[in-house]
Chains A and B, each alone.
Chain A
Amino acid sequence: MELTRPFNVFFGSVGRKVLPLFREINQMSRLINDIFYWTVVSPLTGKRIRWKAAISEAVKAGYNSIPIVAVISLFVGIIMALQSAYQLKKVGAMIYVANLVGVSITRELGPILTAIIVSGRSGSAYAAEIGSMKVAEEIDALKTMGINPIRFLVVPKLIALVVMLPALTIIADFIGILGGFLLSITILELHPINYIQQTENALMIKDVITGLVKAGAFAVVITAVGAFEGFKVEGGAEEVGRRTTASVVLSIFLVIAFDCFFTALFYFFT
């Protein structure tokens, strides 16, 4: 009896930590299932998609993020060029700055920086919006009007992000490379034509495509996490704040985890 006690305490506390996690994973997968149903299946049965709402979400999440995405990717392009030059200078291969900047921006930094910015701007806004609607019984009101809250609120957001996140990523790619280019032709004194040619040779269409595929997946992650945390709100306003913060942390975590997974996948299979 006494001997098994430490084991009971240990497994008991592990169980108390792990079981809720399983429950959350279960709830999350049910939510993703519902989102998929209302985005893909139900429109086939004649239920309308709220395109107007999707466009206004696209303006909020996409168009309004252009300035911040542009500025950050310009800086990151410059940083990448400087950091690469720091090493390449030693072996006298400065022109390869173009390769490093081009490949790392399109394959990695463009998609992930954009996703992190959008998690912070839009993912948190989704959690806050849905959470405060839950507190004000607006979600219940939608249900009693026979309007599914996922179709009404989440599907337009998902459509908006799935289109806008890859679009923002293209902008980030372009401006990031521009940043590297501007730094290289001034401070590093590389010839502009050489730099452009080198970038063209280094970049394969596949690099850009894999980046955009990632961006699409990140869009699903950010929308699902924002909605998940928002719908979980039960209490009052202070819980909305807590869930909003949690949604940013969780979606940045999941974006990076998925990125790791995709990068490994693309490394081995392309």
Chain B
Amino acid sequence: MENAIEVRNLRTHYGNIEILKGISLNVPKGLITAILGGSGCGKSTLLKHLIGLLKPTEGNIIINGRDIAGMNERDMDEVRKKIGVLFQGAALLNSMTVGDNVALPLREHTRLEGSTIQIMVRMKLDLVGLSGFDKFYPSQLSGGMKKRAGLARALAMDPEILFFDEPSAGLDPITAAGIDELILRLKDIFRITIIVVTHELASLFRIADHVIMLDRGEKVFEGELDELRASDNPRIRCFLERQAEEREYTPEDYFRIIAGD
């Protein structure tokens, strides 16, 4: 299987704190890869490295055969034209209409006619089920519609790789399921490589082909969905069975927590 992204021994710090502790992983081309893990384990940090917003302390990130870890901004911008990102809060520019938001990458990076751009914007909005909303401002949309609009913008440049940061966070189950279906459609129709950061099990089992699980900055699992289900690793079982993490506290520990030291 061909890989769209290969990460080798990725280490990263915020200040002196090590967040990702030497992670290696593969993202297969044309499939949906889910990055799974509890809050604060470093999922968003990993995502920000994959899209070149953060630079690692150490390690390589190879996208389509090119290492982006030590890449300068100019080359990085070329790589970025091939990727689309849907941020957790959609990150639409609030001062522009939905249509202008979707048109933005086209206006910045192509020399297409205004009328051509109009048609492309309408096509992308149709694709995500937002036809007729191009004159709306982001503040006039619901959470689910904002995510769809953000997705239309991420699709504007026909990316080869799409990243989603917690696409179903903050949405009701029905709207979240709608986004999941949309993600599956994109994979089937356009064969886009998709990476989804999530902690929602329902969504994971619906869409993922390949799963990577992180725990406290380390990779604890990489493989198919069935292997994940069958795994007997206690950290994975806890997560899948939604058990609270077991911690052994002695009376001294409690005292220290209460005393705040």
Chain A residues near B (Cβ < 8 Å): 133, 136-138, 140-147
Contact = CB atoms under 8 A, between A and B. Distances in A.
Nearest to A56: B95
B91 A137 contact: yes
A138 B105 contact: no
13 contacts: A138-B94, A140-B87, A141-B85, A141-B87, A141-B92, A141-B93, A143-B80, A144-B52, A144-B84, A145-B80, A146-B77, A146-B105, A147-B104
Tell me which of A133, A140, A142, A146 has the highest count of chain B C-beta atoms within 10 A of its own C-beta: A146
B93 A144 contact: no
Interface in B65-114: 77-78, 80-81, 83-85, 87-89, 91-94, 104-105, 108-109
Which range holds the interface residue count of chain B? Answer: 20 to 34
Interface in B135-185: 153
Nearest to B78: A146
Nearest to A143: B53
A125 to B, nearest CB: 12
Contacts of B93: 133, 138, 141-142
B153 to A, nearest CB: 8
A144 B51 contact: yes
A110 B88 CA distance: 47
B148 to A, nearest CB: 15
A106 to B, nearest CB: 37
B49 to A, nearest CB: 12
A146 B26 CA distance: 24
Contacts of B81: 146
A144 B153 CA distance: 11
A195 to B, nearest CB: 48
Contacts of B51: 144
Interface in B38-70: 48, 51-53
Contacts of A146: 77-78, 80-81, 105, 108-109
Contacts of B78: 146
Q: Which 10 A-B pairs have the closest CB atoms?
A: A141-B91, A146-B77, A137-B91, A137-B87, A146-B80, A144-B85, A145-B105, A138-B91, A144-B51, A147-B108
A137 B108 contact: no
Contact of B89 (A136, A142, A143): A136
B122 to A, nearest CB: 19
A144 B104 contact: no
Nearest to B165: A137
A134 B91 CA distance: 9
A23 B65 CA distance: 37
A137 B109 contact: no
Nearest to A144: B85
Contacts of B108: 145-147
A145 B93 CA distance: 12
Contacts of B153: 145
A31 to B, nearest CB: 15
Given A141-B92, A146-B78, 15 more contacts: A136-B94, A137-B87, A137-B91, A138-B91, A138-B93, A141-B93, A142-B93, A143-B53, A144-B83, A145-B104, A145-B105, A145-B153, A146-B80, A146-B81, A147-B105
A140 B89 CA distance: 12
Nearest to B108: A147
Contacts of A147: 104-105, 108
A138 B91 CA distance: 5
Contacts of B89: 136-137
Contacts of A136: 89, 91, 94
Nearest to B105: A145
A190 to B, nearest CB: 51
A147 B104 CA distance: 9
Contacts of A142: 93
Contacts of B91: 136-138, 140-141
Contacts of A138: 91-94
A231 to B, nearest CB: 14
Nearest to A135: B89
Contacts of B85: 141, 144
Nearest to A48: B108
B93 to A, nearest CB: 6
Tell me which of B48, B77, B91, B92 has the highest count of chain A C-beta atoms within 10 A of its own C-beta: B91
Contacts of A145: 80, 104-105, 108, 153
B80 A137 contact: no
Contacts of A133: 93
B104 A137 contact: no
Nearest to A139: B91
A133 B48 CA distance: 17
Contacts of B94: 136, 138
A146 B84 CA distance: 10
Given A145-B104, A145-B108, A146-B109, A140 B80 contact: no
